[in-house]
Amino acid sequence: MPTPQNFKNCNELTQLPYFEMNPAGKPVLAVDDAPPIVDFHTHLGSYYFLSRPIDLFQHTETVDHCFRHDELPIDLSLYSGVNLRNTRRNGTFSDHAHTILTNKGSNATYTIPNLIEEMDRMGVEKSIVLAIDMPGGSQNSLHQAKYLQGNPRLIPFCAVNVQSRRWEEDMDRCVAMGARGLKVHPYAQFLPPNHSRMMKLYKRWSKTGLPVLFHTANNGLEPSFLRKLSDMELYEEPLKKFPEIPFIMGHAGMLFYELAVKYAKAHGNTYLEIGGQPPQNIRHMIEILGNDKILFGTDWPFYPLILPLAKVLVATETDRESRDLILSGNAFRLIEQYNLCGNMPMGQAV
């Protein structure tokens, strides 16, 4: 029988054989032989411009994901960003606007204990936490690195404002505070990934021996004037010029995943993080690229962990080897190869 594609909300995903509801009425992973999962794409609450820093140690009763887990209908065949655009585009803009003005509201629920609680329910052992900073308007990288120091399960990646005169000092400070990778987000930095300033950043970053994770492409949620900054054609130049850097293409090119697959196949230093990709796209990636360069990610708190996890489980229903590598093995290999945990305890690699 074909797997159903449409659900009333994320809680209804427990109709799939991979999940069940716990006594508190929250979904939990119910795959007995699932590997220890690594989520290569999460965020914590951010603050910009007029807002004040968020208390990232605060626990709240609920998490107000941008994709409201108990409200919005799901079509598993869609890229998650398209599903969100179709159901709550204006609400997503409102969530982002609040981060500029206040540290309250939805953004205040994107905290460390809330992320860990959801990780525990979904069988996630470790998560990569990606900071996002805007030129002159935030210090999220340093703020989050401070909160994450010594945390054995959350691995911080920093952002660097290359338009600052002190960007090299800022980068060194982030690494000294524990950042184990670099997040490049063209929308937030107002620069395309192949801009000359970004190329200088990659050259300087290459000395760290640590990976770079790109936000790639667009899905229609973004303001139109920003979309051109992340066109897929703009990413190949750094992939070619810096073969010593491991590059991870976040979202696997969104709607342009076939070009992301092409880049990953052509460049040995390039991996795909597939957060939000629907099952049919994931299967196509495995068919063309193989299963050893694909990483699981969720983009939490934009989406509840259960939504992207369900897509991977559906895609790999008859392919246990790919499931284990995508959810766990490939990520643990990179964590060990590039010492992403530093001196923190590591899980058992698959």
Q: What is the pLDDT of residue 350?
A: 21
Q: What is the pLDDT of residue 299?
A: 98
pLDDT in tens, 264-286: 999 999 999 999 999 999 999 99
pLDDT at 344 over 80: no
Please identify which residue in the block is written with the tokens 């054995």. 152
Distances (CA, A) of 48 to 57, 94, 102, 137: 19, 14, 9, 5
Report the domain count for the chain. Answer: 1
State how far the Cα of 325 lies from the Cα of 339, in Å rounded to an integer: 19
For the chain, give the number of residues: 350
pLDDT at 349 over 80: no
pLDDT in tens, 69-82: 999 999 999 999 99
Instruction: Kindly state the tokens that stand for 69.
Output: 């887990």
pLDDT at 347 over 50: no
Instruction: Kindly state the tokens that stand for 60.
Output: 């709240």
Q: Which residue range(s) make up the domain with 263?
A: 20-337
pLDDT at 108 over 60: yes
In a domain, 343, yes or no: no
pLDDT in tens, 46-71: 999 989 999 999 999 999 999 999 99
State how far the Cα of 40 lies from the Cα of 250, in Å rounded to an integer: 9
Mean pLDDT across the chain: 94
pLDDT in tens, 223-251: 888 899 999 999 999 999 999 999 999 99
Q: What is the pLDDT of residue 103?
A: 87
Q: What is the pLDDT of residue 307?
A: 98
pLDDT in tens, 171-193: 999 999 999 999 999 999 999 99
Q: Which amino acid is at 186?
A: P
Q: What is the pLDDT of residue 92?
A: 81
Helix axes 279-289, 306-315, angle to 10 degrees: 50
pLDDT in tens, 89-99: 888 868 877 78
pLDDT at 348 over 70: no
State how far the Cα of 8 lies from the Cα of 12, in Å rounded to an integer: 6
* Phi, psi angles (nearest 5°) of residue 289: -100, -20
- Sign of the Cα torsion 76, 77, 83, 86 reads negative
Strand partners, 213: 183, 248
State how far the Cα of 314 lies from the Cα of 307, in Å rounded to an integer: 11
In a domain, 208, yes or no: yes
The reported pTM is 0.96
pLDDT in tens, 282-313: 999 999 999 999 999 999 999 999 999 999 99
319: number of CA atoms within 13 Å, CB side? 18
What is the arithmetic mean of pLDDT over 257-263? 98
Distances (CA, A) of 27 to 20, 33, 127, 269, 320: 6, 18, 19, 36, 23
What is the arithmetic mean of pLDDT over 323-341? 97
pLDDT in tens, 145-169: 999 999 999 999 999 999 999 999 9
CATH number of residue 28's parent domain: 3.20.20.140
Is 221 in contact with 92 (CB distance < 8 Å)? Answer: yes
In a domain, 218, yes or no: yes
Q: What is the pLDDT of residue 204?
A: 98
pLDDT at 131 over 70: yes
In a domain, 342, yes or no: no
State how far the Cα of 153 lies from the Cα of 158, in Å rounded to an integer: 16
Is 125 in contact with 347 (CB distance < 8 Å)? Answer: yes
